[in-house]
Amino acid sequence: MTRAEIRLPTEEIRDDIPFFTKVLGMRMDMIYPADNPEIAVFSGHGLRLRVEKGAPEAPGTIRILADDPDAFAGGKRDLTAPNGTRIEICEANPPLVMPPTVHSFVVRRLADQAPWIIGRAGMHYRDLVPDRLGGAVIASHIRIPDGGPVPDMVHFHKVGFQLIFCINGWVDVLYEDQGGLRRLTPGDCFIQPPEIRHRVVESSDDCQVIEIGVPAEHITEIDHDMTLPTPHLRPDREWQGQRFVHNLAAGAEWKPFRLPGYIARDTTISANTKGVAGVQVVRKGQGAPQWTSHDADIHVSFVMQGSVTLEGEGRDPFPLTAGDAFVIPPGMKTRLSGASDDLELLEVSLPGDFHTRVERA
CATH for 115-230, options being 3.40.50.10790, 2.60.120.10, 3.30.70.1400, 3.20.20.70: 2.60.120.10
Q: Using one digit for the tens of pLDDT, what is the confidence trace for 19-58?
A: 999 999 999 999 999 888 999 999 999 999 999 999 999 9
What's phi and psi for 192, nearest 5 deg? -100, 100
Q: Using one digit for the tens of pLDDT, what is the confidence trace for 243-276?
A: 999 999 999 999 999 999 999 999 999 999 999 9
Q: Using one digit for the tens of pLDDT, what is the confidence trace for 49-105?
A: 999 999 999 999 999 999 999 999 999 999 999 999 999 999 998 888 899 999 999
Q: Is the pLDDT of residue 360 over 80?
A: no
Identify whether the C-beta of residue 134 lies closer than 8 Å to the C-beta of residue 97.
no
Q: Using one digit for the tens of pLDDT, what is the confidence trace for 168-193?
A: 999 999 999 999 999 999 999 999 99
- Fold entry, domain 6-91: 2,3-Dihydroxybiphenyl 1,2-Dioxygenase; domain 1 (3.10.180)
pLDDT at site 35: 86
Query: What is the pTM assigned to this prediction?
Result: 0.88
Identify whether the C-beta of residue 352 lies closer than 8 Å to the C-beta of residue 280.
no
pLDDT at site 121: 65
Residue ranges of domains in the chain: 6-91, 115-230
Mean pLDDT score of the chain: 94
